[in-house]
Amino acid sequence: MTEATFTFRVDEGLKSEFSLAAKAKDRTGAQLLRDFMREFVQRQQQAVEHGEWFRQQVQIGLDSANAGHLIPGDEVEAKFAARRAATMRRLDAE
């Protein structure tokens, strides 16, 4: 792996506190910053992947609706009214 230098400015107080906190974890500031950078990149990649998955799911739903695969609203309301009633019965029994 080719390494590169990453230089940036930070408040001296923050740098000192960060160095002390890193030392308390038996790590160097550079090690922690590399870890933070890796985690950030991973979270960004996961967010992109989730966004792509979500768009696919929405498109599947739209395609299904456009094909006429719909459930009438009154059926949905009746189903969830029954679920709410069952939940209330369980809660009252406790």
Write out the residue range of the structural domain in which residue 71 sits: 12-93
Q: Tell me if 38 is assigned to some domain.
A: yes
The tally of domains found in the chain comes to: 1
Q: Tell me if 24 is assigned to some domain.
A: yes
As given in the structure block, the two tokens for residue 12 are 């001296």
Q: Across residues 59-63, what is the average pLDDT?
A: 97
| Confidence at residue 63, expressed as pLDDT on a 0 to 100 scale | 97
Q: Tell me if 4 is assigned to some domain.
A: no
Q: Tell me if 6 is assigned to some domain.
A: no
* Confidence band, pLDDT 50/70/90 cuts, at residue 1: confident
Q: Tell me if 1 is assigned to some domain.
A: no
| Confidence at residue 88, expressed as pLDDT on a 0 to 100 scale | 96
| Confidence at residue 22, expressed as pLDDT on a 0 to 100 scale | 96
DSSP characters over 20-87: HHHHHTT--HHHHHHHHHHHHHHHHHHHHHHHHHHHHHHHHHHHHHHTT----HHHHHHHHHHHHHHH
Q: Tell me if 7 is assigned to some domain.
A: no
pLDDT tens across 5-57, in order? Answer: 989 999 999 999 999 999 999 999 999 999 999 999 999 999 999 999 999 99
Q: Tell me if 3 is assigned to some domain.
A: no
- Does residue 44 contact residue 54 with C-beta atoms inside 8 Å? no
Q: Tell me if 2 is assigned to some domain.
A: no
